[in-house]
Structure 1
């Protein structure tokens, strides 16, 4: 049987959604083992320091932000499954190159950065398709997003812990090989979906499609309000925490502690996803913004040099907050945006959300060397609260209503 792109009338767990769920889960398993724990450990063991970690992580994020808009156009023109499978297969080749480089010795930092950058380009093609498929295979988009978020969080518990355990007894190349295999398996699951999404009949140029996506994005005040505010969040909060958090935990407490802390973050995300599946607030972005306050505790735990159990508790709350916000936001996007432009609009969302993260990731190391890690983390804590305040102060954001399952902004 070949399933169409029209959401079926039964529950979330259709054949197509189940295969899509499996593809997403196995792909995230590899990602969670790779970023940030394996990249962090590999760069530190190679002697490139905290700044090298920041450059390596930013090398993946920057191309993702730069090329995701083009990926969104490709998804809407060629259909999402085709683009996602091609991206997965390309990542198999790219990551296999990194595996080989570690098998043969210690690669130069420029090679690690190059591989991470190419992987980011592939992710830029994959991500808009991911967002476009969900409303085509599930009536209750919020529950579908919550189910995927819970799976991602469970994998985030297993992934870092497994990576830390493997790294303690085996070389980095083993973890990288597992990561490479997950992309191949993801491509297989996507092909097995046999999801028939008709290609658009429009003969508009690539540039016109790009411009149309921008107009659709710009016309929704609530969406670009969130993205502009989130750009501030990325450069002042998320970017620094992604660089300094794993680096400080590794240097102060070791790789196993890093794996444990990242696993507690994943456990928190499980709880946040489950809460999002059950709780359907009338104003989802308002509720999600309030939940984001929970992310402050992990930053404070690091800044105050608290013992590992308290750092883990902070990351647990961070996981709850982040998962709840992401389900509320992604569900809002997928239910308020027409399906035929969702890939492009989501791409503008991703680009705006991520474009400033590499700046924060790259600047965090030098800033910590200049003024110390604690002041940087205290500053990030304050800016997190500022971000929440700005989201709640924007009328279009706090006033956006939740749509009932099976409905969209266009009916």
Structure 2
């Protein structure tokens, strides 16, 4: 773990026992606050698609209006996340995450009131959704750089967070559906707003030791982005994974979600698809738990091997396997992806210096998200031409090739665990 502040280093080292007899302490005050903040944030994020769907369709708008609202969130996030990384370096990640929560809080409250009173104008919904995307872009880069500053064991921290995020991803839509059934979409947005308030309070209470780079002189935003790009290019294992992952997002991860949804819903109904997503979430939790126990010497190589669970899922979907086997595939896919994410996040957070981590994470998120968005947008038209099953089967083949590429590239395969 890269730490440049001597006081923080000594405090952290004091928590780490000598030898390998016991893992370092994890649940310090800072990590507990961060854990709560991430849990409620992911819970709130999971509620938004259900709340938008219920509110807009219930008000008589078409289903495309839901797609536009969520698409504007994604577009705003993708455009501003690079600026979020630079601003987190300039003003510290903790401050930017507080600002981001406070930026999104009033927008969610406005949506809560508007949907509770009736049907808000679509332009207002779209604007508020875009503002929420900007807030998420300002928030996200700080997540990666905060973890190694508060957790003496970065891999365990990432694994624990992955488990709770998987559980909250399952709980969010279910809670939103319950609130909509009992009251209306406004109630779901009200709870979503409360998650931003809780998150902001947690980060206000967080006490992160400063590092010298926090007070270092800064250039212009564009100069800082250019510096981040040079640092990104200087690490072959980092840009190598991102380059391979752009292909993966375009051809596999992006199309997989919408095509699975359409295929399963048309064949078996929405209830079956809901159960399938719950099984996938359970797999994600198990993948996080495995990452708590396993400490491979070559984390990216181990994570790449684990990714072989995803083509198994795509193969089952593309060949029309029975529902029990589809549940098995969804579970394997969730576990595989969660394990890879822990290995990848831990590698980035321990190999990239603290003063470059916000920008590195921003480039990572921007590249991955943009290509996944393109893959989702193109999946429908391509599936109409060649068939959904064929797109999924081709995706399974490409997923295997991607794993091979990750293992063939030497800087990726041999990156050690720190």
What TM-score do you get using the length of structure 2 for normalisation?
Answer: 0.86
Q: Using the TM superposition, name which of 212-221 and 6-15 deviates more.
A: 6-15
> Structure 2 residue aligned with 1:94, among 107, 122, 128?
107
Give CA-to-partner distance per residue, 1:96-155, whole Å, 9 cap, x none.
Answer: 333344334456766555443322221111111111111111121111111111111222
State the shift of 1:227 in Å: 0.4
Is structure 2 residue 83 aligned with structure 1 residue 70? yes
Structure 1 residues 111 and 246, CA, compared in 2 at 3 Å: closer, same or farther? farther
SS in 1 for 2:283: helix
User: How far 1:281 sits from its partner (Å)?
Assistant: 0.7
Does residue 1:279 correspond to 2:294, yes or no?
Answer: yes
Tell me: CA distance 1:81–1:322, structure 2 relative to 1, closer, same or farther (3 Å): same
Q: 1:339 aligns with which of 354, 360, 366?
A: 354
Structure 1 CA distance, aligned partners of 2:33 and 2:90?
23
Q: Deviations over 1:301-333 (max 9, x none)?
A: 443455554433322111101110000000000
Matches within 5 A, 1:301-340: 301-306=316-321, 308-340=323-355
- Contact 2:55–2:115 under 8 Å retained in 1: no
CA contact (8 A) 1:272 1:320 kept: yes
Distance 2:65 2:384 in 1: 13
Local SS of the residue matching 1:346: helix
Quick one: structure 1 residues 33 and 297, their matched pair in 2 at CA, closer, same or farther if it must change by over 3 Å? Answer: farther
Residue 30, structure 1, aligned to residue 44, structure 2: yes
5+ residue gaps, structure 1 = 404-411
| 1:272 shift after superposition | 0.5
* 303-312 or 62-71, which deviates more: 303-312
SS at match of 1:355: helix
Quick one: structure 1 residues 154 and 30, their matched pair in 2 at CA, closer, same or farther if it must change by over 3 Å? same
CA distance 1:168–1:246, change in 2 (3 Å): farther
* Correspondence 1:123 to 2:136: yes
Residue 30 of structure 1, CA deviation: 1.1
- How far has the Cα of 1:70 moved from its partner? 0.9
Decide which of 182, 190, 193 is 1:180's aligned counterpart: 193
Question: 1:344/1:185 Cα in 2 relative to 1: closer, same or farther (>3 Å)?
Answer: same
Contact 1:61 1:357 in 2 (8 A): no
8 Å contact kept, 2:83–2:221: no
Give secondary structure in 1 for the equivalent of 2:152: coil
Equivalence map 1:196-207=2 (5 Å) = 196-197=209-210, 199-207=214-222
After alignment, is 279-288 or 149-158 more displaced?
A: 149-158
Unaligned runs of 5+ in 2: 1-6, 16-24
Structure 2 residue 311 is matched with structure 1 residue 296: yes
Question: Is this contact kept in 2: 1:57–1:361, CA < 8 A?
Answer: no
Q: CA RMSD in A?
A: 2.6
Could you tell me whether the CA contact under 8 Å between 2:298 and 2:414 is conserved in 1?
yes
Q: Does 2:374 correspond to 1:388?
A: no
Q: Residues 251 and 257 of structure 1: is their aligned pair in 2 closer, same or farther, counting only changes over 3 Å?
A: same
What residue is the counterpart of 2:3 in the other structure? Answer: none
* Structure 1: distance between partners of 2:187 and 2:397: 39
Report which structure shows greater RCO (CA 8 Å, sep ≥6): 1
Matched, 1:155 2:168: yes
**Counterpart contact for 1:231–1:352, Cα < 8 Å:** yes
Change (3 A) 1:288 1:43: farther
Provide the residue aligned with 1:246 in structure 2.
261
* Equivalent in 356, 359, 362 of residue 374 of structure 2: 359
* Structure 1 counterpart of 2:156: 143
Aligned counterpart, 1:407: none
CA spacing shift, 1:185–1:93, aligned 2, 3 Å = same
Q: Secondary structure at the residue paired with 2:308?
A: helix
1:398 aligns with 2:413: yes
Cα distance 1:144–1:327, how it changes in 2: closer, same or farther (>3 A)? same
Q: TM-score, normalised by structure 1?
A: 0.87
Worse-superposed segment, 320-329 or 171-180: 171-180
Greater shift in the superposed pair: 153-162 or 391-400: 153-162
